[in-house]
Amino acid sequence: MKLSLGPILYYWPEEQIRQFYREIADSAVDIVYLGETICSKRRSLNLEQWVEIGQQLQAAGKEVVLSTLALLEAESELKSLRKICGNGTFLVEANDLAAVNICAEQEIPFVVGHSVNLYNQGTMGVMARCGMKRWVLPVELSKETLHELQQHRPDGVETEVFSWGKIPLAYAARCYTARHYNLPKDDCQYRCLDDPDGILLNTKEGQPFLTINGIQTQSAQHNNLLGVMEEMKAEGVDVVRISPQSRFTPEIVQLFDQRKREEITLQEGMDAANRLLPLGGVDGYWRGEAGIQPTEI
Amino acid sequence: MELVCPAGNLPSLKAAVDNGADAVYMGFKDDTNARNFAGLNFNDRGIGQGIEYAHKKGAKLFVAINTFPQPSGWERWTQAVDRAAESGVDAVILADIGILDYAANRWPDLNLHLSVQGSATNYEAIRFMHRNFGIRRVVIPRVLSASQVRHVTEHSPVPLELFGFGSLCVMVEGRCLLSSYATGRSPNTYGACSPGSHVEWIEQEDGGVETRLGGILVDRYQPTEQAGYPTICKGRFEVQGKEGYAIEEPTSLNTLELLPEMMAMGIGAIKIEGRQRSPAYVAQVTRVWRDAIDACSRNPESFQVDENWNRQLSKVAEGAQTTLGAYHRSWQ
């Protein structure tokens, strides 16, 4: 199994992004997804600069994929998307059917991201015909469904699972960060920069529940599939995805790598992971339950 | 411009047809549609009766099969498409790419509409669905501004259907997992947001009410407040010390005042939300929208929203208040 690092889902300033990928270049991840997937107003880097970081990572031995917006509304966003799809160097991750359409028409191979609803063999077949090289299991689907889908996977297509990080749960027209700060979306003052891991939302009785990240809503808790890496391997999962956070991402990559190589036991790995998770880890979706169900180890 | 109205049962279907719906949409009694609630929807006999009633009065009948099958349930969805096609419906409203592919191959003459659950927010996504499956209409998620909608209509290969009235999803439909994070069941997989089996209403000692979903506190109401159904996006939460509607207030979409603009854009149809609502709701909302569309068609330039229409709609709106939603840029 390979380790991948998903795209940064938050708004970080340019220097923080560059420093982050300098550390990642020395890490054990095999695949790095780059680019902005949440909000087109977040422009710490332009496409050329992302490509430049991609080349540095490639020189360090990483496979690089350019990821794309999940929610596309404006023509300017489609224009940027076309540029990314036609970059000519790196594989593209399609997070909306717009990207699938552009790639399919131009015969550009692509990864189907987890926000595209690939829930069954029929969709798997259509996507493979269109040029899919890899797919990411939609985050709410279980091990059991993955198992069934793997029976229908065409040759040459890889399977990836979102294995670590706050779970992307929803996308909206409204920006909840701007709303929280009483700002209109059109004049958001880039307040996402204040919260490098999003903003925690609690229930009225103080239970951590969700994370506000601009137009995206995530879980408050981290998905943690470190404890089921052996199950993933047995199911033929090719790539295990870690979603970046502003802190401890290199440590998490190392934990997954050590677990993959069986240099640490399951218990040692989970203990180390849990120390980095003040809100605890969840793996309910993997087990076919409510996503918020905590890990049992 | 076609008026498309909801029916969760035969009395609602009749109410829609009798009050001027051009088309009625409905679903089967299972998880193949996104209003999978107990006591709602149609079996094969009901669909047959519905078609007979609608066709006799010149209305069309659409069947929504707009959830996402997993491999173990695949046949239930393909059979739903077969049942709808064989019963002679005027269109099926689909969301899943695999099911669209099945329907396009198995029933090449069947009208396919892309459901709002298909998450097509831009014309490239619509082109994908048109090129691969020959869809003839697309229902647009409630996330675009009016000017964005206009841009999509100018580039879309098929006519658009827009939501005009009803409960408001603030998230892109087909991509919202808030319900499944709390319960394991989402509109995508199970056909219901906040399934009744996971909802709790708990009376408090002070006379207030707590509403929970999958055990998670969605809201706590004072004795003086009217408790709403616990959908997560309309709950009250605490964010950095601020308590309130962090995502969205309980409110209904009402776009009557945009009718002339939507007509000028060439919007193909207006959809009314609410298959889970009563026949009285369907009758009321259909009647108002029929009158409004007729008035606007006769004379779009001098069209004005009749205050009486808004009063009638407010009576049945969720939270008793209405919004233009994303169509009005300031809402975003």
SS3 assignment for chain B: CEEEEECCCHHHHHHHHHCCCCEEEECECCCCCCCCCCCCCECHHHHHHHHHHHHHCCCEEEEEECCCCCHHHHHHHHHHHHHHHHHCCCEEEECCHHHHHHHHHHCCCCCEEECHHHCCCCHHHHHHHHHHHCCCEEECCCCCCHHHHHHHHHHCCCCEEEEEEEECCCECCCCCCHHHHHHCCCHHHHCCCCCHHHEEEEECCCCCEEEEECCEEEEEECCCCCCCCCCHHHCCEEECCEEECCCCCCCEEECHHHHHHHHHHCCCEEEECCCCCCHHHHHHHHHHHHHHHHHHHHCHHHCCCCHHHHHHHHHHCHHHCEECHHHCHHHC
Residue A275 contacts B where some CB pair is shorter than 8 Å: no
Q: What interface predicted TM-score (ipTM) does this complex get?
A: 0.97
Segment B180-222, tens digit of pLDDT: 999 999 999 999 999 999 999 999 999 999 999 999 999 999 9
Q: Is B124 on the interface with A (CB under 8 A)?
A: yes
* pLDDT number for residue B158: 98
**At B112, phi and psi to the nearest 5?**
-110, 125
- Cβ contact, residue pair A123, B96, below 8 Å: yes
CATH 3.40.30.10 fits B2-168+251-328, yes or no: no
Q: Which amino acid is at B238?
A: E
DSSP A293: P
Please judge whether B238 and A204 are an interchain contact, meaning their C-beta atoms are less than 8 angstroms apart. Answer: yes
- Testing the interface with B: which of A37, A68, A71 to mutate, by most B Cβ within 10 A? A71
Confidence bin at B319 (pLDDT 50/70/90)? low
Q: CB–CB of B184 and A288 under 8 A?
A: yes
Q: In Å, how far are B15, B79, B82, B114, B133 from B106, measured between CA atoms?
A: 33, 11, 8, 17, 11
Per-residue confidence (pLDDT) for residue B320, from 0 to 100: 56
pLDDT of B59: 98
Mean pLDDT across B35-61: 94
Task: Name the residue of chain B whose CA is nearest to A179's CA.
Answer: B246
Please give the Cα distance from B68 to A31 (Å, whole number): 29
Provide the pLDDT for residue B232: 97
Contacts of B154 in chain A (CB under 8 A): none
* pLDDT higher than 70, residue B108: yes
Q: What is the pLDDT of residue B169?
A: 87
pLDDT given at position B331: 67
Q: How far is B147 from chain A (nearest CA, A)?
A: 10
**pLDDT band (50, 70, 90) for residue B332:** low
More confident residue, A110 or B321: A110
**Above 70 in pLDDT, residue B321?**
no
Which strands form B199-203's sheet, in the order they lie side by side?
A: B199-203, B209-213, B216-221
pLDDT in tens, A113-124: 999 999 999 999
Q: Sorting pLDDT into bands at 50, 70 and 90, what band is B117?
A: very high
Of the two residues B313 and A82, the one the predictor is more confident about is A82
Stretch A184-200: mean pLDDT, rounded? 95
A127 CB within 8 Å of a chain B CB: yes
Mean pLDDT over A32-43 rounds to 97
Predicted model pTM:
0.97
CB contact under 8 A, B218 and A203: yes
What's the confidence (pLDDT) of residue B92?
Answer: 98
pLDDT tier at A13 (50, 70, 90 boundaries)?
very high
**Short-list A63, A44, A70, CA closest to A134:** A63
Residues from chain B contacting residue A173 (CB–CB below 8 Å): 142-145, 170, 172, 326, 331-332
pLDDT of residue A297: 84
C-alpha span between B93 and B138 (Å, rounded): 9
* Distance of alpha carbon A114 from alpha carbon A146, whole angstroms: 13
The answer, for B182 touching chain A at a CB cutoff of 8 Å, is yes
Under 8 Å CB pairs connecting chains A and B tally to: 219
A240 touches chain B (CB under 8 A): no
Which ranges in chain B are annotated with CATH 3.20.20.70?
Answer: 2-168+251-328
Cβ–Cβ under 8 Å, residues B135 and B114:
yes
Average pLDDT rounded to a whole number, residues B220-230: 93
- Range with the poorest average pLDDT among A82-86, A189-193, B189-193, B311-315: B311-315
Write the residue in B151, B181, B217 that is nearest to A292 by C-beta.
B181
- pLDDT digit string, tens, across residues B135-175: 999 999 988 989 999 999 999 999 999 999 998 888 999 99
CA A71 vs CA A77, A186, B207: distances in Å: 9, 16, 43
Across the interface, which of A174, A202, A292 has its CB nearest the CB of B170?
A174
Average pLDDT over residues A53-80: 98
